[in-house]
Structure 1
Amino acid sequence: MRLHHVQVACPRGGEEDARRFYGTGLGLVEVPKPAALSGRGGCWWRSYDASGQVVAELHIGVEEPFAPALKAHPALVLDSVADLEDVADRLQRLGFEVDWSERYTFEGHQRCHTRDAHGNRVELLA
């Protein structure tokens, strides 16, 4: 068994804000949703390794009524601490808060937490 994707929610019409965070901020690649699912709204994202293999997939689904995930979260691994700091800096420049208070609390990793445009918690680690 392996993980295929993680889904977080956004309110109806929240796709552009999701694109700003997940695409521009995190650098994930938006991929088309299957035709049978496209009418539901939302957007899908992937990250690829150097060989072109999908290494992470995240789906943003429309949920009504919407409530952000305050504790549950996807955790995305970056290749290096320098990459982690670069992504965190880019998010801050886009106006997203980045919390480093737990940077050294997960043995073997450095990490930070942020929230997407809809308030969903996201962990980044290296």
Structure 2
Amino acid sequence: MDFQYEQLDHIQLAAPKGGEEKARAFYHGILGFTEVEKPENLRSRGGVWFSNGEVDIHIGIEEPFHPARKAHPAIRVKNIEAMKKYLDEKDTEYIVDNNLPGANRFYLHDPFGNRLEFLQWI
């Protein structure tokens, strides 16, 4: 191959019509992502975009809506134990998974039922 992949640019997850405020409450209010203004020509589609460091998440509106329960993004975290403590303080449920050797990881679901993985390699 005469090309190589550099890095993941963004992930897109789906939400039901009208889910923008719930997305803001979760991705900004709980996870601490900053909302990014969508390009003018994409705004009519609905949805909302977020960014934090090198991680960009786009929430797109999908009808009919079905959450991603198995497929998921995996986001690397520095100091994952501090994140767990933070989520505990926010009363946000997560599921610890010790099945991947060498990883401290957990899953949580956004308000739409989409699965998100967070991990730190040990």
Q: Does TM, scored on the shorter chain, surpass 0.5? A: yes
Q: Aligned partners of 1:122 and 1:19: how far apart in 2? A: 16
Q: How does the TM-score come out when normalised to structure 2?
A: 0.86
1:22 to 20, 27, 31: 27
Q: Aligned partners of 2:62 and 2:85: how far apart in 1? A: 31
The alpha-carbon deviation at position 82 of structure 1 amounts to 2.7
Query: Which of the pair has more CA radius of gyration?
Result: 2
2:119 aligned residue: 125
> Is residue 25–residue 90 contact of structure 1 (8 Å, CA) maintained in 2?
no
**Secondary structure of 2:29's aligned partner:** helix
Call closer, same or farther: CA 1:119–1:90 in 2, change over 3 Å: farther
Q: Aligned partners of 1:119 and 1:56: how far apart in 2? A: 20
2:58 aligned residue: 59
The alpha-carbon deviation at position 12 of structure 1 amounts to 0.6
Equivalent residue runs for 1:32-71 within 5 Å: 32-48=37-53, 55-71=54-70
- Extract unaligned runs of 5+ from structure 2: none
Number of equivalent positions = 115
- Extract unaligned runs of 5+ from structure 1: 49-54
The alpha-carbon deviation at position 90 of structure 1 amounts to 4.5
Q: How does the TM-score come out when normalised to structure 1?
A: 0.84
Amino acid at match of 1:45: F
Following superposition, which runs of at least 4 residues in structure 1 exceed 2 angstroms of deviation?
81-84
For residues 25-74 of structure 1, the C-alpha deviation after alignment (integer angstroms, 9 at most, x for no partner) is 111111000001011110001112xxxxxx11110000000000010111
